[in-house]
Amino acid sequence: MDHSSGGDSDGNDSEVEEYADKTYEELTGGKHSVKLSDVTFTCPFCTNKKKRDYQYNDLLQHATMVGKSDAKKRSAKDKASHLALVKYLEKDVMENTGPSQAKDNVDVDHLAEHDGDEMFVWPWKGIVVNLPIELKDGRYVGKSGSNLRDTLSTRGFNPTRVIPLWNFRGHSGSALVEFKKDWVGFNNAMSFEKAYDADHHGLRDWKINKDDLKDEIYGWVARSDDYNATNVIGEHLRKIADLRTISDIMAEEDRKVDSLESNLKNINEVKKKQLEEMENQYVETEHSLKECIAEKDVLVQKYNEELKKIESGAREHIQKIISDHLKTKQQVEDEKRKLELQGQELQKREANNEIEQKKLAEEIAQNAERNSLLEKASDEQQKADESVMNLAEDQKREKEELHKKIIMLEKQLDSKHAVELEIEKLKGQLNVMKHIGEDDMETLKKVDEIQKKLREREEELDDLESLNQTLVVQERKSNDELQEARKELIEGLKELPKTAHVGVKRMGELENKPFIDAMKRKYDESEAEDRASELCSLWEEFLRDPNWHPFKVITVNGKSQRVIDENEEKLKGLKRNYGGEVYKAVATALTEINDYNPSGAYVTTELWNFNEGRRSTLKEGTCVMDDYMDHSSGEDSDGNDSEVEEYADKTYEELTGGKHSVKLSDVTFTCPFCTNKKKRDYQYQDLLQHATMVGKSDSKKRSVKEKASHLALVKYLEKDVMENTGPSQAKDNVDVDHLAEHDGDEMFVWPWKGIVVNLPIELKDGRYVGKSGSNLRDTLTTRGFNPTRVIPLWNFRGHSGSALVEFKKDWVGFNNAMSFEKAYDADHHGIRDWKVNKDDLKDEIYGWVARSDDYNATNVIGEHLRKIADLRTISDIMAEEDRKVDSLESNLKNINEVKKKQLEEMENQYVETEHSLKERIAEKDVLVQKYNEELKKIESGAREHIQKIFSDHLKTKQQLEDEKRKLELQGQELQKREANNEIEQKKLAEEIAQNAVRNSLLEKASDEQQKADESVMNLAEDQKREKEELHKKIIMLEKQLDSKHAVELEIEKLKGQLNVMKHIGEDDMETLKKVDEIQKNLREREEELDDLESLNQTLVVQERKSNDELQEARKELIEGLKELPKTAHIGVKRMGELENKPFIDAMKRKYDESEAEDRASELCSLWEEFLRDPNWHPFKVITVNGKSQRVIDENEEKLKGLKRNYGGEVYKAVATALTEINDYNPSGAYVTTELWNFNEGRRSTLKEGVMSLLEMWEMHKRRRNM
């Protein structure tokens, strides 16, 4: 575009370009015929050529070679027409009717023209007869089948093969034409038959003219008659084909489709059943698992309850034994006392008569028998007691021995655990030393293996680090290239009209339309825009305020999100006063700033998709740029947009040239295009807002010229004014140090106040009225004094003609106030001028800063100042500020000290709490120890108590035996005595009765004793069970002891092995240390390897995303640059395409110039077929600097022949194409397009492509404006 627009290029090139455009229009208009059939084309500009019929690729090659030819015999017109043909073939013919379309779009429905029962040869076959043959050496010969196949292919019939038929004489003059085994093949076959029928060379014509034939070929589709013929055609057809009707073929296809559908349905049903079975199994398993868990909980609960019952029953049983023993003991003591009393009475009595003595003797004999029985029972009882005592003693001894053994085994188990720990340590030391031989060879082998493994891990780590670094660099390059391209595209798209769906959006910029709509509801249309501009500017200041944070943090699905706080005071007031649309505009700007520039809190530009309301991809931006280039180059854009753009550019040049004045002062600006506006003085932001609103206005009352001029003003403000003198500069760079000009003891009204007098007023309805204070405030603001408020002063007559001007309560406000005073002094409208001209005033306003004289005045100004302000010196104000600063510093120091004390107290509390916790833990350990000791004491006391019960039982038994001996002695004495009187006999009878009673009581006591013995036996049984349980525990501990012994044996073996190593030299110890270090290093490397693999995976995903977006953008840019002239240094190159110039030069050396181009075209097409052949691999692998590289094999037969026959330049062109295909498309082996830097001979970056496109667009735009 630079070349064509600059006007300084060569005349011939300009002539070629112009004639090419003209010829292209003639081609698209149909003036020249190019297409002969679906696959056959002709060159309309080579009428004298022998070869005028081409396939698509051949014609494209021919046109390219002629158009780019350097031959002097080629005129500029000839080259231009062929270049136009190239463009027409690539842009119009390829898009509308490619070869594939000719296959699919059949003009006639051949199936409808034939009966379904008509018999055809299957697979489809054509027959050609009367082929030209000649007699050579006694046999007929003719051309090969490939020659006829090519001829038929050029006519669009696309046969797969042509088979010449031979007989004993040689070539029979006939051949079979094979087509594809599908309906496309049927269509081609029927087209073949119809073509020959149309030329009167079909089957009927063959039969009619059979005897009088010329050198013309006849052809038709093979049917049943040909199949059953007895000639060479019929014989060959019966060998290789079959007869089928169209109905049969279609029915067979339907059966195949039905079979496939049936199989798919069956598979689907099986899969569904399997899925249902799996779901049922899952439900059953889940249910079974829940039941098992419930049963387990029930069993655990029952087990705990049973355990509690057993413990409770054991306690109750022991308690019962003790109570029974106490009862028995009490009964025995009572019987003992009774027997003592009876013995005393018997000693006093005497038996006086024989009868009584006989009875007494009989009674004694009976008593003796009873006593003998009691003695036997006592002996048996004694034996039983002895056996019980022996059993109890044995059990006690066994219990104590078992207890000791358990304690010993538990200690042994603890020692076993310690030993096992020692084994693990020893094994850790002996991992490398297992099976140490005399020479420590196996140790060294183990070390070598670990080192080898470590090296492998380190190599993997290095590889991953290298891959990781590569991915980081690649991802960074892709991202940098992507961001640079986005930046360039954003800069370029800023200049486009805002009509495309993708463009540049200023993120965080307030939309002005809602503000205008809101103000139109409150004010008339003339004032609404100014009010809206003021409000919009105010809220832009709020948005840029870094101390304003109208956000809150909420949690959504477990993730924290930062959203706008709708209850924030400013936002609530905005929504309440101006409505939801204005609130929505501010909320949108806040969200955009938070999303796209949260740290800076200022407006940024971004590539935006306005249709979908999201950030646009680079691909979409490039597409829009291409579309706009096409749109603008076609001169079919909207007239109004073009007019606006042209006038805006013109006005911008006038603004930069100084034709229009915009800047009044450092902070005051004016709009040079709104001369009728009441308000013409603006601050920078207000003027920018005003110009933007007018330039983007949809109002029909705004003319194109007015919109364009304001758009130019926006561009001028943003590009020129903002860079040189921004509003902030005017605020910060104060021209005069006002503080230095005033005495520190000078009295000023505080807060700072200005006074304006002689304001224009008029008498209405008996009272003086004047303009509002906001009007004067706006005037003063435009002059850069920035008052916060203007208060008109009123008295009993109405407006007094004076007002107070309030400034901010800081030094910025003081500077503004002094600037205000100096400005009026400079215009001779200060306080001195007021006092001088007080009696002879014109309609001019006077102003100054309020001081003590004004404060103490008796007029309306003084009265109002005394109500709302005070008198202060600058020194006082500065001292007060210093006091506030000192107070703040003091408060901060105090707060800091308090915080430090609190921190120290918290640290002390922490130390005390930690100490107290340790003491509690120690106390708890002591309590646990005491508890264990008390438990042992209770167990010991229980054993002692049982022993005491047995000892008491023995004592009681001994007492019974003593009483029995006493009774025997008394019986012997009674046998010697005689009862001499009846009284004694009666007493003796009574005594016998009493003895009988006593005997019955003794029997009861014996029964009670027996019960007590049974209780003791039960206790012995319980102890036996305990003994069995202990025995089981002992068996288990013995097993553990056995395992301990095995461990001890292993320790002994290990120690035996270590004895060999006790005197290992320093070298071996260093080897062991080295092994430990190597293992530690190995673990660290494996951890680093895992981390790098994770990082590697993340980088791969990120690089893939960036690369995808990059490739999409490159693809769109390539598509757009294809249509542009190939004069720029950045353009599209077809990688792998053969350069035709070396072929033409080579052919010119062999043939005359008229034939050279055709020969070169044929040779070039042949080698393009070779390049696309997937079975041709003219490469070899060599090693360079330890790395394998794939290079062209110069000794490959075809390449050697090419170089030998046509020279090095042709070979170099083929080698270059091969290298490009290998580098840019090795898997597909076909020509691809690539963004290329022709100046540097390399692949162009995306940024260079975007910049080149923008440069072309700028040039094109300037050429249109010329």
In this predicted model, what pLDDT tens digit does every residue of 288-307 receive, in sequence order?
778 877 887 887 788 778 76
Is residue 604 within 8 Å of 596, Cβ to Cβ? yes
pLDDT level of residue 103 (50, 70, 90 thresholds) = very low
- Model confidence at 89: pLDDT above 90: no
Per-residue confidence (pLDDT) for residue 855, from 0 to 100: 93
Distances (CA, A) of 637 to 377, 540, 824, 959: 137, 35, 54, 138
Per-residue confidence (pLDDT) for residue 733, from 0 to 100: 38
Q: How far apart are CA 601 and CA 96, in angstroms?
A: 53
Per-residue confidence (pLDDT) for residue 861, from 0 to 100: 92
CA angle 586, 588, 589 (to 5 degrees): 65
Average confidence (pLDDT) over 604-612: 80
Helix (H) or strand (E) holding 946: helix 874-976
Per-residue confidence (pLDDT) for residue 1017, from 0 to 100: 62
- Model confidence at 569: pLDDT above 60: yes
pLDDT level of residue 8 (50, 70, 90 thresholds) = very low
Q: Among residues 137, 57, 145, which one has the least CA distance to residue 94? A: 57
- Contacts (Cβ under 8 Å, ≥6 apart) of 42: 33, 34, 36, 52, 53, 54, 59
Question: Mean pLDDT lowest for which of 70-74, 731-735, 991-995?
Answer: 731-735
Which residue type does 809 have? Answer: K
- Contacts (Cβ under 8 Å, ≥6 apart) of 601: 543, 544, 545, 546, 593
Greatest mean pLDDT range, 106-110, 129-133, 360-364, 889-893: 129-133
Is residue 450 within 8 Å of 1074, Cβ to Cβ? no
Per-residue confidence (pLDDT) for residue 834, from 0 to 100: 87
Token readout for 3 is 């070349």
313 compared with 1023, residue with greater pLDDT: 313
pLDDT level of residue 496 (50, 70, 90 thresholds) = low
Per-residue confidence (pLDDT) for residue 1020, from 0 to 100: 52
Greatest mean pLDDT range, 209-218, 1120-1129, 1163-1172: 1163-1172
Token readout for 656 is 């930069």
Greatest mean pLDDT range, 172-176, 1069-1073, 1242-1246: 172-176
Q: How far apart are CA 1130 and CA 1119, in angstroms?
A: 13
Greatest mean pLDDT range, 89-93, 353-357, 379-383: 89-93
Q: How far apart are CA 780 and CA 776, in angstroms?
A: 6
pLDDT level of residue 839 (50, 70, 90 thresholds) = confident
- Model confidence at 1095: pLDDT above 90: no
Q: How far apart are CA 215 and CA 776, in angstroms?
A: 108
Count of helix runs (H) and strand runs (E) in the chain: 37, 30
Per the listing, tokens 């049974």 go with: 1014
Note the helical H segments in 1062-1152.
1066-1121, 1141-1148
Q: Among residues 815, 795, 970, 830, which one has the least CA distance to residue 360? A: 970
Q: How far apart are CA 900 and CA 919, in angstroms?
A: 28
Q: Among residues 1126, 1131, 1136, 1138, which one has the least CA distance to residue 1240? A: 1131
Handedness of CA 63, 66, 67, 69 (dihedral sign): positive
Task: Judge residue 1234's burial from the number of C-beta atoms within 10 Å of its C-beta, 0-12 exposed, 13-18 middle, 19 or more buried.
Answer: middle
Helix (H) or strand (E) holding 699: none
Where would I find the beta strands (DSSP E) of 471-613?
A: 502-507, 551-556, 559-564, 604-609
Strand partners, 553: 562
% the chain with pLDDT above 90 = 10
Fold agreement between 115-240 and 752-868:
yes
Q: Among residues 1224, 1103, 1092, 1098, which one has the least CA distance to residue 473? A: 1103
Question: Mean pLDDT lowest for which of 554-568, 678-692, 846-860?
Answer: 678-692
Q: Tell me the fold of 752-868.
A: Alpha-Beta Plaits (3.30.70)
Cis peptide before 751 (omega within 30 of 0): yes
Greatest mean pLDDT range, 182-191, 313-322, 440-449, 657-666: 182-191
Cβ neighbour number for residue 270 with a 10 Å cutoff: 10
- Model confidence at 1109: pLDDT above 70: yes
CATH 3.40.190.290 fits 115-240, yes or no: no
Which residue type does 714 have? Answer: V
Token readout for 766 is 């008996």
- Model confidence at 1028: pLDDT above 80: no
Q: How far apart are CA 1133 and CA 1124, in angstroms?
A: 12
Q: How far apart are CA 590 and CA 1138, in angstroms?
A: 57
- Model confidence at 1110: pLDDT above 60: yes
Question: Mean pLDDT lowest for which of 636-640, 1124-1128, 1243-1247?
Answer: 636-640
* 3-state secondary structure at position 1062: coil
- Model confidence at 433: pLDDT above 50: no
Per-residue confidence (pLDDT) for residue 966, from 0 to 100: 78
625 compared with 631, residue with greater pLDDT: 625
Question: Mean pLDDT lowest for which of 261-270, 1004-1013, 1082-1091, 1223-1232?
Answer: 1004-1013
Per-residue confidence (pLDDT) for residue 1060, from 0 to 100: 46
pLDDT level of residue 634 (50, 70, 90 thresholds) = very low
- Model confidence at 491: pLDDT above 80: no
Note the helical H segments in 241-353.
246-348
Domain ranges of the chain: 1-105, 115-240, 667-732, 752-868
Q: How many residues does the chain have?
A: 1266
Q: How far apart are CA 1141 and CA 1087, in angstroms?
A: 60
Per-residue confidence (pLDDT) for residue 458, from 0 to 100: 64
Question: Mean pLDDT lowest for which of 421-425, 647-651, 874-878?
Answer: 421-425
- Contacts (Cβ under 8 Å, ≥6 apart) of 995: 342, 363, 367
Average confidence (pLDDT) over 510-526: 85
pLDDT level of residue 343 (50, 70, 90 thresholds) = low
- Model confidence at 1005: pLDDT above 90: no
834 compared with 973, residue with greater pLDDT: 834
Question: Mean pLDDT lowest for which of 138-147, 553-562, 751-760, 1003-1012?
Answer: 1003-1012
DSSP-assigned letters across all residues of 779-797: HHHHTT---SEEEEEEETT
Per-residue confidence (pLDDT) for residue 302, from 0 to 100: 80
